[in-house]
Amino acid sequence: MAYDYAKYLRAGKIPHIWCPGCGYGIIMKSIIRAVDGLGMNKDDLVFTSGIGCASRLPGYIDANTLHTTHGRSLGFATGVKMAKPELNVIALGGDGDMTAIGGNHFIHACRRNIDITCLVFNNYIYGMTGGQYSPTTPKAARATTSPYGNSDNQFDIAQLAIGAGASFVARSTTYHAVPMEKLIKQAIEHKGFSVVEIIAGCPTGYGRKNKLASPAGMIEWQKANSVNKVQWDKMTAEEQAGKFPIGVLHQEEKPEFIEAYDANVGLS
């Protein structure tokens, strides 16, 4: 029997705003299966988001949902979590939202290691505003604001998160819908700040300008260029060139922020 997504969706809010061929619907379905698979109570589930295509997702989910300002979802999420640590807080946003305008909040949430699950939808472009280059747009790629090719350097979001101190970091793609669901589950279950970077296609904003206009072609590209972490570690630098690792990239046990705070100040 087909999986019933309706129980986690708000009645009457679909169709969503995403373009045909956008990868974000695949991510939403993986998120729903993950939270359902963990048996999470919708009353205790909070989604926060910033601004952009990805950030419209919480509006579709039947939970406590907070669509905030551009890049600021982690700030709001921190307030919610500190006020009520018993809530499960998932903060999400796109590559521009989380790593450009929200970059400072992102690295500090990683450093703080607060028990929030952060999902970064990386489609290499500012989609909602029509295709401007973002901190993850590949070098030389075309965007409306890089008509001669992108001169800027790329962020590796997962590496950024690891460097900043996140205690769980994983990467997936929209090709890997089932493994993605499992990684999201692991991220939610992890105590501390967890990041899952999810590579997704934006045929409208990115693909059309970069000879990748077919949604299926973009997913094929994800399949062809992603390498499981175990395999990745065995590859030479030459073999790794142009590809990226997926799976759990980093996991460590370290004190969670609110638990540490409560213990310090005598609240626990």
Partner 1 sequence: MAKEVKFLQGNEAVCEGALYAGCTFYAGYPITPSTEVAEILAARLPKVGGRFVQMEDEIAAMAATLGGSIAGRKSLTATSGPGMSLKMENLGYGYLTEVPCVIVNVMRGGPSTGLPTGPGQSDIMQAKWGTHGDHPAVALTPSTVQEQLEETVRAFNISEKYRIPVILLTDEIIGHMREAVNMPEPGDLEVVDRKRPTCDPKDYLPYKPEADGVAPMADFGSGYRYHITGLNHLEDGFPSNDGKLAQADEIRQEKKITDHYDEIVVVDEMDTDDAEILVFAFGSTARSAKEAIKMARAEGIKVGLFRPLTIWPFPDKHLQKYKNKVKRIIVPEMNLGMAILEVKRVMEGTVPSIEGINQIDSEPITTITILNKIKEGK
222 DSSP assignment: H
Question: Nearest approach, Cβ of 82 to partner 1 (angstroms)?
Answer: 5
Give residue for tokens 């300002």.
Answer: 69
Whichever of 76 and 124 has its CB closer to partner 1, that residue is 76
Q: CA angle, corner 189, sides to 108 and 24, nearest 5? A: 75
Chosen residue from 29, 72, 142, 176 binding partner 1 by CB under 8 A: 72
Residue bearing tokens 């169709």: 15
Angle between helices 24-37 and 177-189 (to 10 degrees): 50
* From 43, 211, 238, 241, residue interacting with partner 1 (rule: CB under 8 A): 43
Rounded to the nearest angstrom, the gap between the alpha carbon of residue 183 and the centroid of all alpha carbons in its chain is 11
The identity of residue 99, as a single letter, is T
Task: Give least dist CB 14 to partner 1, A.
Answer: 12
- Asked if 66 interacts with partner 1 (CB under 8 A), we say yes
Which residue in the set 9, 19, 38, 80 belongs to the binding site for partner 1 (CB under 8 A)? 80
**What tokens were used for 8?**
């986690």
Stretch that binds partner 1, among 71-79, 185-193, 194-202, 210-218 (CB under 8 A): 71-79
63 is a contact residue toward partner 1 (CB under 8 A):
yes
Query: Is 46 among the residues that bind partner 1 (CB under 8 A)?
Result: yes
Q: Report DSSP state, residue 7.
A: G
Binding mask 13-42 for partner 1 (x = CB under 8 A): x----------------------------x
Interface pick for partner 1 out of 4, 6, 37, 82 (rule CB under 8 A): 82
Q: Show contacts of 8-11: CB within 8 Å, 24+ apart.
A: 8/32, 8/35, 8/36, 8/42, 8/61, 8/62, 8/63, 9/60, 9/61, 9/62, 10/59, 10/60, 10/61, 10/62
108, 229, 243, 250: which one contacts partner 1 (CB under 8 A)? 108
Q: How many residues bind partner 1 (CB under 8 A)?
A: 40
Residue numbers of the site for partner 1 (CB under 8 A)?
10, 13, 42-44, 46, 48, 58-59, 62-69, 72, 74-84, 86-87, 104-105, 108, 258, 261-262, 265-267
